[in-house]
Amino acid sequence: MPAGRYAPSPSGPLHLGNLRTAVLAWLFARHTGRGFLLRIEDLDRVRSGAEELQLADLRAIGLDWDGTPVRQSERLDRYERAVAALAADGLAYECFCSRKDIAEATSAPHPAGPPSGAPGVLLPPGAYPGTCRRLSEAERARRRRERPAALRIDAAAAAGLPDGTAPLHAITDVLHGEVTAAVDDFVLRRNDGAFAYNLAVVVDDVAQGVDQVVRGDDLLSSAPRQDWLARLLAPRTGAAVPGTEYVHVPLVLSPAGRRLAKRDGAVTLSDLAALPAGAPGVPDGGWTPARVRDLLLDSLGLPPGDLRHALAHFAPDTVPRTPWTPPHALTHPAEQAPERIRFPR
Ligand code: GLU
């Protein structure tokens, strides 16, 4: 069954920005008759207890999902197989570069451009310049003794392009239209052995039949490379080549215009529930999960109440195109706190 999904990283409690994106992901999936899956992206940055709290908060504002949520930490064999399939086709290589090596290499002038008529483009600024792509086996053996290798995709080889160029890939986003980017040799497995976000997310979306990706627009620039990788991997895993619908939704910002974060004040369900009655911005009866849900729906121009009721009024073309800032009273306290005050975590 075609499906949409919400894929939180259990690094802490969900804040209003995460919850609003989750509501949008649910609305888009249900509006288009898709299934809705929940995937816990717990390959790193895991905080103990956060997963349970996140699921409870999603349920509290009325989200439901199909089946049992999957955890990336339990799917390592799939990522391993995907990497092995790419390596077997000569499309992955070991990279020994440190961040500093890459920063230095990318600040140096680039060599000549692609041969005229080649369909790729010159590597964009900041792209991995391919330093380790053509190391000899002897050189690799020597470098392995110095530091563990990361594994990178050989994007030019996968696209049949000359070294020094990158394939261009376009996706269509419901809110942003066509977005084209060069695909560089991004990391598949980090040098600490962890599978990279871009690999895991694509392996899972392909394997789970996800054909609608709704998430914050901070990830828009990752979409072309992920879609490109999905098309490379799908035939290798026996899955259908996905025709994914992308929807990168505006972020929620603090009154200072920064991306909302937990430190910005009362921005999680439990922070909000703890605000005393009568405090500025606190409704009669306090911030119950249902009132927070209504606040989020209002920010989307939708009527208060059950999510199913909102769904009946939802139309993709009315989704706001600009970031939302919650009422100032909710985020005010921490914004005013002097920078040097840090609470223990
Ligand atoms: N786990 C990612 C995050 O919480 C989202 C990944 C995705 O939706 O592709 O930022």
Kindly give the distance from the C-alpha atom of residue 185 to the centroid of ligand 1, in angstroms, as a whole number.
21
Token couple for 169? 């890939």
Entry pTM: 0.91
Q: Output the pLDDT for position 102.
A: 84
Q: Given phi > 0 = left and psi -120 to 50 = alpha, else beta, which region is 268?
A: beta
Atom number of ligand 1 nearest to Cα 215: 8
The ranges of the chain with pLDDT < 70 are 108-120, 332-345
Token couple for 253? 């910002």
Which of 79, 94, 161 lies closest to 128 in space, CA to CA? Answer: 94
Distances in whole angstroms, Cα of residue 57 to Cα of each of 12, 222, 269: 12, 27, 7
Q: Output the pLDDT for position 110.
A: 53
Q: Output the pLDDT for position 120.
A: 64
Rg (CA), the chain: 22
Kindly give the distance from the C-alpha atom of residue 250 to the centroid of ligand 1, in angstroms, as a whole number.
14
Which of 43, 47, 40 lies closest to 68 in space, CA to CA? Answer: 40
Atom number of ligand 1 nearest to Cα 205: 9
Ligand 1 pocket, mutate which of 36, 37, 41, 54 (most atoms under 8 A from CB):
41
SS3 195: strand
Ligand 1 pocket, mutate which of 5, 6, 9, 47 (most atoms under 8 A from CB):
9
**Burial letters 231-244, b for 16+ CB under 10 A, else e:** bbbbebeebeebeb
Atom number of ligand 1 nearest to Cα 8: 4
Q: Output the pLDDT for position 258.
A: 93
- pLDDT tens sequence across 247-288: 999 999 998 899 999 888 889 999 999 998 888 889 999 999
Residue ranges around ligand 1 (CB below 6 Å): 7-9, 41, 201, 215, 219
> Distance between CA atoms of 19 and 25, rounded to whole angstroms?
10
- pLDDT tens sequence across 138-168: 999 999 999 999 999 999 999 999 888 899 9
- CATH numbers and ranges of domains, the chain: 11-72+250-335 (3.40.50.620), 75-249 (3.40.50.620)
> Distance between CA atoms of 4 and 245, rounded to whole angstroms?
9
Q: Output the pLDDT for position 176.
A: 96
Kindly give the distance from the C-alpha atom of residue 12 to the centroid of ligand 1, in angstroms, as a whole number.
13
Which residues lie closer than 8 Å to 53 by C-beta, 6 or more apart?
A: 13, 14
Distances in whole angstroms, Cα of residue 321 to Cα of each of 25, 29, 215: 15, 19, 13
SS3 323: coil
